[in-house]
Chains A and B, each alone.
Chain A
Amino acid sequence: MDWTNLLVNVAGEIIAPTTAAYALAAIGLNIHFGLTGLLNMGQAGFLLLGAYGFAIATIAGWPLWAAVLAAILAAVVFALILGIPTLKLRGDYLAIVTIAAAEIVRIVGRSTTLTDLTGASSGLRGNSYKHTFQDASPFPDGTWELGPFEYAINASNSWWIRIVGWGVVALACLLIWLLMRSPWGRVLKGIREDEDAVRSLGKNVYAYKMQSLVLGGVIGAVAGIIYVLPRAVQPDAMGRSMTFFIWTILLLGGAATVFGPILGSMLFWAALMLIKLVMRGTVPETVMRSEQIEQFGWIIVGITLMLLVIFRPQGILGDKKELAINAH
């Protein structure tokens, strides 16, 4: 087995655009769950809507900024539709409704009725909506090498998407850092602990939850854009399992922390890549076929999620005393 190549691959995973997209999605979920205690089990729905919004608007000829705005708008509308019936209900209801709503987005998106718009189950090709983003790059075309990493500068899985992706993640972190230290964040924290108490103190709990849902959802939608820029919009790749990966990432890094989602995402994808590469190099094809290795990786993710929640619910960076999970 080629250890250098393996390490380069694993390290490459840490800075990959997918990792940034998942980190961002987890930051959005962190606002919902870590800060407010909302059990959003449909984060992938926000990502998918963001991806659709961006891709469809771009294909329709909208400029980059307008397409991003369309994605954000889609997330806002979705959050409002989702929040109005459910934010007054108990937590586990919200979990069921959000997971159902995300599923509805996917079902509608992949429906043959909307083929002209969404491409149905085969989705939208990356090349049909990447150009505005790539054209916005200030760098010359070509490839660039940094140490062992060599990527195209602007085209698809590029340095450009890495720079923008991680830049957005950094901005989102700053936002969370500011909000967690503000009176606004304090109200959310209070709601996470006991919303009736906060209501009795004259705060409009419903409005705060809605703000949290919208803000986290918008961040999710932007994550969706970053996620699909180096690939295609595939409704079936952005379903329930994506939501569960985001949850695993958040809980791994630590809910209600600023850097938890980033650390979680990096660890998650790097570890998964490490497992896959090591197994591909050591387990003979007769024992485990390559798609089985893939599945083996996801089995480990599932088990990790279980063990994590049971034995270290505060994650790596979390503080047990301020445990965000299980506030009610």
Chain B
Amino acid sequence: MANHTNTGNPNVDLAYRRKKNAEEMKHQVISFVLMIALTLVAFFAVGYDEFSHWFSVPFILLLAAVQVAFQLYYFMHMSHKGHEVPALFIYGGVLVAFLTIWAFMTVVWW
């Protein structure tokens, strides 16, 4: 069978897998709470008048990058093994994304 077992007893393996899945789900909920917290901090940072935009803009961009990393590595399972090629595709896209944004922001003049 292809259920990646070691014991040869499907019931024991099922219990083990369920436990592992439940543990992973706990990590997912923790990352969700962190993502909500990052979102709240970003909205508050913008609402708080004492911060100049020279601070708040890079700060909220950093918060967004951290939140997206949680989304990719936990919710989309990129932290699991077997995601080398997906990482290549996504980071390839991100590279082109940075180039495009940099080009448009410097070249568009009107």
Do these two chains really belong together in a complex? no
Q: Which residues of A contact B (CB under 8 A)?
A: none
